[in-house]
């Protein structure tokens, strides 16, 4: 049976297709002259990024289920949470966000963005990210008791329905490859919750081209996430009417470890590299997903040409710029104070 997403419910929020072009300037910084970019930093809704694709299917599913609000799991710096909250509000649904930890002391752009569209944020008071889903489920139950109809969404929108957004992305890319010559078939993409990679691989498995996806995991060890992705690919393909085998999925998928030195952290070298990429290319490079993945790509020995899937992360890029600015301001004040104490 052919892959078909036309009959599945989605609402259009983004501007599709996102551009697909060679980017020799970024290629030069990364050391891959023949580098193309799929510009999901330009998805065109709210703060943009790859998550707009998942949100189009999740919101449609919530509306079909008669929901009055969404209850979503998302850390304070979650791009997904900010975009999902904006999408919920755009169709008149309420938005609750369950975040790990407690209210951050420093401002976090994604949290400000979610609250700016009216999301109510609840903290788990625990550092364990998995507890967000537990609390989101129990909050959902409490909301039912007061008459609300909640639609509960896991971290990153990585449900089988959310993954459909990247089946649509795979179909979009395959069509662009039909219309454009020399599109690279080796893809590198950041991997967080795994929903985007699962949908992408499911969609690309059904193409006549021999696509290969290299997903760079920034939060979990590859061995702890690969099986989840394969199973999610199979399940979301089934929603789109296709039976996939795990052998078909794994032949298209490679998961790599891009965590070093830890989720959301950059080494001094990675930080310099992220800054160099932004200053030389004008692209927004967020520290958590795209900087880490491009750093991994720089040192990987993949056969070129490469198609890099830029997943956005404008809010994280903004936090990165502000914290770099604050640090250089502190350093310059310190050096002025040191000079004055020597005089
Ligand atoms: C900017 C950005 N890139 C990549 C990802 C990873 O996508 P996924 O969680 O679907 O693996 C995320 C997840 O939140 C993200 O915000």
How many residues can be counted in the chain?
A: 343
Phi, psi for residue 198 in degrees, rounded to 5:
-60, -45
For domain 20-48+159-322, the CATH class is alpha beta
CB-facing half-sphere around the CA of 170: CA atoms within 13 A:
32
Q: Residue 288: CB within 6 Å of ligand 1?
A: no
As a whole number of angstroms, the distance between CA 203 and CA 16 comes to: 17
Ligand 1 pocket residue status of 287, Cβ below 6 Å: no
Matching CATH number, 51-157, of 3.40.50.1980, 3.40.50.1100, 3.40.50.300, 3.90.1150.10: 3.40.50.1100
Domain residue ranges in the chain: 20-48+159-322, 51-157
Under-70 pLDDT residues of the chain? 1-2
pLDDT in tens, 230-271: 999 999 999 999 999 999 999 999 999 999 999 999 999 999
pLDDT of residue 171: 96
Fold agreement between 20-48+159-322 and 51-157: yes
Our answer on whether the CB atom of 219 is closer than 6 Å to any ligand 1 atom is no
Asked if residue 192 has its Cβ within 6 Å of ligand 1, the reply is yes
Residue 162, ligand 1, Cβ within 6 A: no
pLDDT digits (tens, 9 = 90+) for 116-154: 999 999 999 999 999 999 999 999 999 999 999 999 999
| pTM, full prediction | 0.96
The answer to whether the CB of 50 is under 6 A from ligand 1 is yes
Ligand 1 binding pocket mutation candidate from 18, 48, 129, 156 (most atoms within 8 A of CB): 156
pLDDT for position 1: 54
**pLDDT value of residue 338:** 83
Query: Ligand 1 in contact with 289 (CB < 6 A)?
Result: yes
**pLDDT number for residue 224:** 97
Cα dist from 306 to 187, 275, 276, 329, whole Å: 6, 22, 20, 38
Distances (CA, A) of 127 to 103, 123, 219, 314: 12, 10, 14, 24
Rounded to whole angstroms, the Cα distance separating 177 from 156 reads 28
Asked if residue 75 has its Cβ within 6 Å of ligand 1, the reply is no
The residue behind tokens 């020799």 is 24
Nearest CA to ligand 1 atom 7: 192
Taking CA atoms only, the protein residue closest to ligand 1 atom 12 is 192
**Ligand 1 centroid distance, CA of 190 (Å):** 7
- Put the strands of the sheet holding 212-217 in their side by side order: 20-22, 35-39, 306-310, 186-191, 212-217, 253-257
- Going from the Cα of 161 to the center of ligand 1, the distance in angstroms, rounded, reads 16
């Amino acid at each position: 049976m052919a892959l078909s997403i036309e009959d599945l419910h989605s609402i259009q929020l983004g501007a599709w297709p996102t551009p697909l072009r060679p980017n020799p300037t970024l290629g030069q910084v990364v050391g891959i002259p023949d580098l193309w970019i799929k510009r999901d930093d330009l998805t065109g809704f709210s703060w943009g990024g790859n998550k707009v694709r998942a949100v189009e299917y999740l919101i449609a599913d919530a509306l079909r289920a008669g929901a009055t609000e969404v209850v979503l799991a998302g850390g304070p710096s979650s791009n997904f949470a900010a975009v999902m909250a904006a999408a919920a509000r755009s169709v008149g649904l309420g938005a609750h966000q369950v975040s790990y930890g407690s209210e951050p002391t420093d401002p976090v752009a994604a949290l400000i963005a979610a609250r700016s569209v009216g999301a109510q944020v609840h903290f788990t008071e625990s550092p364990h990210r998995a507890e967000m889903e537990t609390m989101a489920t129990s909050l959902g139950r409490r909301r039912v008791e007061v008459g609300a109809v909640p639609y509960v969404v896991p971290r990153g929108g990585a449900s089988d329905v959310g993954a459909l957004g990247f089946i649509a992305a795979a179909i979009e890319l395959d069509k662009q490859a039909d219309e454009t010559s020399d599109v690279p078939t080796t893809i590198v993409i950041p991997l967080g919750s795994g929903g985007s990679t699962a949908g992408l691989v499911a969609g690309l498995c059904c193409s006549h081209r021999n696509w290969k996806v290299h997903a760079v995991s920034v939060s979990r060890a590859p061995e702890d996430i690969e099986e989840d992705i394969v199973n999610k690919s199979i399940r979301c393909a089934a929603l789109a009417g296709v039976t996939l085998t795990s052998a078909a999925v794994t032949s298209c998928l490679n998961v790599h470890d891009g965590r070093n030195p830890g989720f959301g952290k950059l080494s001094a070298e990675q930080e310099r590299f992220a800054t160099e990429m932004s200053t030389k290319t004008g692209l927004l490079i967020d520290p958590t997903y795209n900087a880490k993945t491009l750093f991994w790509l720089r040192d990987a020995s993949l056969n070129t040409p490469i198609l890099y899937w830029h997943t956005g992360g404008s809010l994280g890029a903004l936090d990165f710029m502000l914290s770099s600015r604050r640090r250089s301001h502190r350093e310059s004040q310190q050096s002025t104070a040191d000079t004055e104490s020597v005089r």
